[in-house]
Amino acid sequence: MSHPGNDEIIDNATDNRVELSEGFVFEMTKFGIGIVQEIAAETVKVKPGMSVKDFVKVLDQYLKDQESKSNISMSK
């Protein structure tokens, strides 16, 4: 049998976890976009006017390179 006070504590803890998760996702998104911006800046220096399709290939290669450096499997 639940107690009203316990239910409120549990609900508040759940809300806090959701807020922390949303904050974490936002910060990681900002971090990821920052990395993509750095890669884009370097890529434009080498290949100005590159198509989006080709740039996506550069990003894919970056991920493969990072995966092999870190020995972490990023398979889907």
Residue 12: inside a domain: yes
pLDDT at 7: 76
- Model confidence band, residue 2 (pLDDT cutoffs 50, 70, 90): low
Residue 45: inside a domain: yes
Domain that holds residue 66: 4-70
What is the total count of domains within the chain? 1
HEC assignment per residue over 43-55: HHHHCCCCCHHHH
The DSSP symbol for 70 reads H
Residue 75: inside a domain: no
pLDDT at 48: 92
Residue 57: inside a domain: yes
pLDDT at 20: 83
**Highest mean pLDDT, choosing among 8-12, 16-20, 52-56:** 52-56
- Model confidence band, residue 47 (pLDDT cutoffs 50, 70, 90): very high
Q: Is the pLDDT of residue 4 over 70?
A: no
Residue 37: inside a domain: yes
